[in-house]
Structure 1
């Protein structure tokens, strides 16, 4: 009997499948056949059944329809409907006169066992039954006018013919008869295709690879098993899932992917073509950059963590962190810049940065860049002229410093102190003069140098200046 296959649809509605008993087509004229409208066991009870031939409603409201003493006019494409379900797939039924009649199952799929029958009227002796496929004799043995071909694939499709000799008592001899029909073996399921989502796949994405196939409409509830390969190596063994998921795709997940589909027994098995999947970087490895090749003390220094997002993920939010000599100087934030308003010598060091997604699923660190802060000017020194100061001498005290070669036009201001007390306020002059030194001008002298904005300010060491009394 034709195997019943149940097709589920949304909700309570089911798509039924037709089966025939006996499971042959064509049927000899005058014989009967029973059609059954099979539904899933979970379908609601007390369903109202409807029957159709060639798209037109015919009498009958039960689950089975008996076509009794069939005639040629009963031939056609039959369908049934259970309740509010969709109609079943078409099943062809032909009533035929004459003999022999070559009979085959109305629906044959790869993996099925196929038998053919060379039917003659009962009561007539027959012999020498021979079957042909595409005009070539089939060598398989014939029993009771039936040819058991066995398990078949789509290559079994073709034009089949049977011939036999039938004895006629009236003429007291055997006469030669034959019949033929086209037998089509359908795919149980289509060759699978590997598909990937999203496409393209960016590093860190949840990647889903689907082994996409389609079951025959007559076998939509057949259980299938799926297996996945990357570069020929199994990454997910046979299971009922047609998907292979990678929660956070990495560059090493790139490769040539294939999948296979089989029935649980492995009798029908098909492999997809290769799909090459290249995992794209979500963002490039960052580069750390500094706003100026030469950073001088007091400069506003900006360090940038430079990276580039994939064109397909340009709206992805990234977080940045900065390190100096391995110590965190700016924690994770949305800013790719770390600013130092007034760089000092102690800001020199080995800088790196890291970039990550907000979830931390993708994280990359830059190479090291060494930043050396240059002095804007050297620490000042107190110098005095003359070296030996005698009471009444003109004394010149100089606050001596040297500007960086890159900043020689910077304006500096100078201030002088004796014994901690200001003796000459900030001015552009780096000298403090005493026209006629007196003993009370002796003391501990220091000076300071600063930029006009006081961003950089340095004080000299202390110098002791002693005024000697005039000799008489």
Structure 2
């Protein structure tokens, strides 16, 4: 039963591989085929089974007009169908006279197409099923260690680098070392290396959708199996694993710019393949144009040099700049250099930033900066202002010097002895109410040896001699 299933699968494979071509199927499905396995050959192609023509060793074998035969003789067999032509040849060996196994050992490989991810077993057999021990396997003449299991070699999962020429060596019963003829193993791709494609317009603008498609072609040697897809942006998983080969981002922004790639893998992940990187750039309309003044302030003077710079916060290159003076275009480029300016340069300045996006630049975006007011002052006004300021400073210095001189003169006006003679005369009556009277008059000059004092007596007009007293 297992042999019938294998034969059917191989028939499907060959039918997919070569549409409307004649194929010669082998049961049991091993190559090279050997007589002691009781080989049956089946011719598959267009037309009726009765129209099948068989060939052995290049010669017409006309007595066989059925679509299948049982082989009893070694040789090379072919079949022909009227609608699909001649099949590829199949060789059946008896194990001792065939050049495929001159020493009595045969290394057999499954006849089905071998694809990535498969598990395949190579078996080393003695002629007419003689026992083989101490078997070693070789690939391109190099011994394979750690892979053999008795007389069989298992390769799983198959990879493309498993392709090559294999042989085996072993001890055959009756004490003889034997080595098989080489057999070629070809591993086919399960699916092609994926290619990441950007669907839609080649230029992506902010807010527009982004569709990525991971395209991979399945092998024609086998019915296509479902694959899983993953999508990456700058090495980080963006989507998947998923059954759909497409990834849709409904609205992209500047953060979606980067390197994208995709990975296709078989169910179970035994075969994985990654695409090359695809650079995606999200183009941004210009926005937030600003003017940066040069080294001078907004108020400048005639003869000065002024440099203004226009820049944008966002905007994909190329960006062009246009300068407006009082609403009129005056220059192009990101810099506006005004040399030896005069009063005519006064006014408002603006810059217009422009970029073109979309295929063939059919979408134009503009950003207008705020106004910058520039006031140019004539050179003479500046000199007058300087003179006024200098005059004010000199006047202040003169007033300060006058105050200092007046204070100095006040202190030096009278000699010290005169300033000491200045006294305050206080007159008052004992018991009288009210504050004393202060007389600022200076005291009369005195004799240095005599001091006279007049005292009021009890009666007006009378003098008592005792009222006078000489005071030394």
Give TM-score, length-normalised by structure 1: 0.49
Structure in which a larger fraction of residues adopt strand: 1
- Which entry has the higher C-alpha Rg, 1 or 2? 2
Q: Give the number of the structure whose residues are more often helix, by fraction.
A: 2
TM-score by length of 2: 0.49
